[in-house]
Amino acid sequence: MRRAIEPAQASDYPPNVQAILKRRAAASEYLGQELLEIDTDAGWVRIAYALNETHFNRYGAIHGGVIACVMDDVLATAAGLVAQWGEIAPTLEMKVSYLNQAGAARHTAEARVIKRGRTVLFLESLLFNDAGKTVATASATIMIAPLKRPTDRTAGV
């Protein structure tokens, strides 16, 4: 069942949503990420992104790499809906199709799990501009894996 995200009810959400609400990643801040809705049963998520001139390419449109970053973010968030505490959802591969230019505006992305295997998920996503026009689509293969903490690289230096 789809439900709107209420930050005050963070403890009611899956671990990845709790983590996002507690402390957003720097990349998510850069993209102006705002979680809107989730459906944990369907593995579906809707997220808004505040894209502006800082995301432009030299021609005055949202850079394709920024759009790919948005797609990776929304896809990983949908995949993370099935993860438990201590698990992550790294992207193994992603294909982005750019359908229309995007300008400075609030954009909305949706992603959903198409098929779930034991440790690998297949997903698809859509990105819309503020007028509802499709800007891009993407598909991805994402793995659910245990989080491995980096070793202390300063020891013995």
In the beta sheet, which residues pair with residue 94? 140
Average pLDDT over every residue of 110-123: 95
Question: What pLDDT score does 154 carry?
Answer: 59
pTM over 0.75: yes
Question: What pLDDT score does 155 carry?
Answer: 55
Average pLDDT over every residue of 93-100: 98
Question: What pLDDT score does 150 carry?
Answer: 73
Structure tokens at 85: 């505490």
Instruction: Please answer whether residues 75 and 132 qualify as being in contact, where contact means their C-beta atoms are separated by less than 8 angstroms.
Output: no
* Domain chopping of the chain, boundaries: 3-146
Three-state DSSP state, 109: strand
Question: What pLDDT score does 113 carry?
Answer: 96
CA distances from 97 to 100, 121, 126 (A): 9, 20, 10
- Output 88 or 102, whichever has higher pLDDT: 102
Question: What pLDDT score does 42 carry?
Answer: 92
Pairing, β 33-39 against β 44-51: antiparallel
On the question of pLDDT at 142 being above 90, the answer is yes
Name the architecture of domain 3-146: Roll (3.10)
Long-range contacts for 44-47 (Cβ within 8 Å, ≥24 apart)?
44/2, 44/78, 44/81, 44/110, 44/111, 44/112, 44/113, 45/74, 45/77, 45/78, 45/81, 45/110, 45/111, 45/112, 46/108, 46/109, 46/110, 47/73, 47/74, 47/77, 47/108, 47/109, 47/110
- Poorest-pLDDT segment among 44-48, 131-135, 153-157: 153-157
| Crossing angle of the two packed helices 64-80 and 15-22, in degrees rounded to 10 | 130
